[in-house]
Amino acid sequence: MKNRNIKATVFIILLRGFIEVSNAQSLPSILITYHSESGKTKAMAEAVAEGVSQVQGVSYILKPISKVQEQEILNASAIILGSPVYNANMAPQVQEFINSWPFDGRPLKDKIGAVFVTGGGFSIGEEAVMFSMIRSMMIHGMVIVGGEEVEAAFGASAITGEGEFDGKEVQEIFLEKAKGLGKRVGDMAGR
């Protein structure tokens, strides 16, 4: 009798573990990925992740583009991509990353896409870079989502090197835009 009880208990524990793992695997997964040399775009990526984490029923992966595996791109329901502005372009590493995305059969079609950037100054490339990344996502057939507020309509951006924003950590006003972007993408991916 005692043996039977032990077997039943072990079976229930294993079954619960199996159900938990299956649930975790079936949650929509959001890939938040970025390139960052001096930490500003990384700080925005972490704020995006904080926003996603406010949404129930979705999971996320947060990592630099250099660490992303192709399978993580294919598994993702949404990709939120961040770049610093370099001479009014996305960082070359981000362009290379996009160029590496699988295209045959359009496996990224209908995935959600969203972007965030950091740039040194106002109106010297941030919006151009957001649209550049958005355009590439659209070539893949992705569905683009902007931020929660009109101030992040095309994605979240932060100014990191001009006037009062120079020489500091990324300011809260910009991190809030990133959180809003993460939350909105999380909401959409969960639907």
Ligand X SMILES: Cc1cc2nc3c(=O)[nH]c(=O)nc-3n(C[C@H](O)[C@H](O)[C@H](O)COP(=O)(O)O)c2cc1C
Q: What residues make contact with ligand X under the rule CB under 6 A?
A: 36-42, 84-88, 118-121, 124-126, 160-161
Structure tokens that stand for 108 in this block: 């990224």
3-state secondary structure of 61: strand
Smallest distance, Å, CB 161 to ligand X? 5
User: Between residues 124 and 144, which has the closer beta carbon with respect to ligand X?
Assistant: 124
- How far apart CA 12 and CA 177 sit, in angstroms, is 44
Choose between 68 and 124: whose C-beta lies nearer to ligand X.
124
Comparison of 181 and 189: residue with beta carbon closer to ligand X: 181
CB of 25 to ligand X, least distance (A): 32
Residue 92 one-letter amino acid = P
Q: Which is nearer to ligand X, 63 or 107 (CB)?
A: 63
- In the bound state, the residue with its beta carbon closest to ligand X is 119
Give the shortest CB-129-to-ligand X separation in angstroms: 8
**In the complex, least distance from residue 37 CB atom to ligand X, rounded to whole angstroms:** 4
Residue closest to 81 by CA, chosen among 28, 73, 59: 73
Number of helices (H), then strands (E), in the chain: 6, 7
Using the 8-state DSSP alphabet, how is residue 76 labeled? -
DSSP-derived pairing of the beta strands 59-64 and 156-159: unpaired
